[in-house]
């Protein structure tokens, strides 16, 4: 298969591209290598892909529809759209970055899929769409009209945009609501890596909401398995050609459990500063993955303890931080 992967230098994008190459697919990767976090880390991910048979890379902005069309270079068997401006807190201060990448960029991908009549477009949504939802676990049919961050609002908009294209053009689209993805070569703006670097430097870590936080941490390998499973199952007319899936671990963990695991693996006791809740944040996430289990065979296997052990082993193997 010939598959376009947007955000190919990103955490999930690079791992997905590698898995596609492993099974013999041709991957057209695109990414704008923006400086939201260290470009050196993005280039390190790309370095693992560049010399592999079947991989081609284009440094472009997905919001540039003409450049995206040129990069695609002809018919595609699928698009896996993982490019986005990420980060809940960053969206408070930089909303136009999200309008550009997440709204205009998503529209460019939808239009490319429509023009090329791509058999299936899989795109990244987020657990952030659940916003102020108080019911747990979060299920795909829960209301998602109370976002608490602009990032979450743009991801909700992506789902609505996709549903409209699916109905208008009978265009198969699948949205994946990712829950706190972590692992080696992950995003350095995530708590587990922020804490790791501060602990290694002997600096205190900030614990928000006085530590009363829970997250459905999901290891990167489990997420990639879910992405590939979703890509293999395009939705049909019975769902108006659009389907949403939670991809989480169905095993929410307390923030202080994460801190304890980092202390164990690093052999360092963290100096902790307790603070109140941050604007745009939520106290707890928990994915109901029964739909993904039933329809995709999705079955996450990695515990937080195992995932953090593997992540810290990777970090200890670096001569210097990549971020």
Active-site position among 151, 182, 245, 298: 151
The partner residues of 73 in beta bridges, in order of sequence, read: none
Smallest CA-to-CA distance from 289 within 279, 303, 302, 299 is with 299
How many angstroms separate the CA atoms of 302 and 114, rounded? Answer: 37
The CA-atom distances, in angstroms, between 11 and each of 179, 279, 291 are 14, 25, 25
List the structure tokens of 269: 């006791």
151 noted as active-site residue: yes
* 3-state SS class at 123: strand
Q: In angstroms, rounded to a whole number, what is the distance separating the alpha carbons of residues 193 and 37?
A: 12
Distances (CA, A) of 190 to 76, 87, 176, 180: 33, 9, 19, 9
Tokens of 227: 């992405």
CA distances from 267 to 86, 160, 197 (A): 31, 46, 13
Residues 6+ apart with CB under 8 A from 148: 131, 132, 280, 281, 282
Largest CA distance in the chain: 56
Q: Which residues are catalytic?
A: 151
């Amino acid at each position: 298969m010939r598959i376009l992967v947007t955000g190919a230098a990103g955490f999930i994008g690079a791992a997905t591209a590698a898995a596609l190459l492993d099974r013999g697919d041709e991957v057209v990767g695109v990414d704008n290598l923006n400086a939201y976090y260290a470009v050196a880390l993005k280039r390190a991910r790309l370095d693992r892909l560049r010399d592999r048979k079947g991989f081609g890379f284009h440094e472009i902005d997905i919001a540039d529809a003409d450049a995206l069309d040129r990069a695609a270079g002809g018919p595609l068997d699928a698009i896996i759209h993982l490019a986005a401006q990420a980060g809940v807190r960053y969206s408070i201060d930089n909303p136009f970055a999200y309008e550009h990448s997440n709204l205009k960029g998503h529209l460019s991908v939808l239009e490319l899929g429509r023009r090329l009549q791509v058999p299936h477009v899989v795109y990244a949504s987020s657990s952030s769409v659940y916003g102020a939802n108080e019911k747990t676990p979060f299920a795909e049919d829960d209301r998602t009209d109370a976002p608490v961050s602009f990032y979450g609002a743009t991801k909700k908009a992506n789902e609505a945009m996709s549903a409209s294209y699916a109905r208008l053009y009978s265009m198969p689209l699948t949205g994946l609501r990712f829950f706190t993805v972590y692992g080696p070569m992950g995003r350095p703006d995530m708590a587990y890596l922020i804490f790791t670097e501060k602990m290694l430097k002997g600096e205190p870590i900030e614990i928000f909401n006085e530590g009363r936080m829970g997250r459905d941490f999901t290891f990167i390998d489990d997420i990639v398995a879910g992405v590939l499973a979703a890509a293999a199952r395009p939705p049909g007319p019975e769902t108006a050609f659009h389907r949403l899936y939670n991809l989480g671990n169905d095993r929410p963990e307390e923030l202080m459990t994460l801190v304890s695991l980092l202390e164990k693996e690093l052999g360092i006791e963290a100096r902790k500063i307790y603070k109140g809740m941050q604007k745009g944040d939520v106290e707890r996430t928990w994915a109901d993955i029964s739909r993904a289990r039933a329809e995709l065979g999705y079955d996450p296997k990695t515990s937080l303890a195992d995932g953090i052990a593997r992540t810290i082993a990777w970090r200890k193997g670096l001569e210097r931080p990549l971020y």
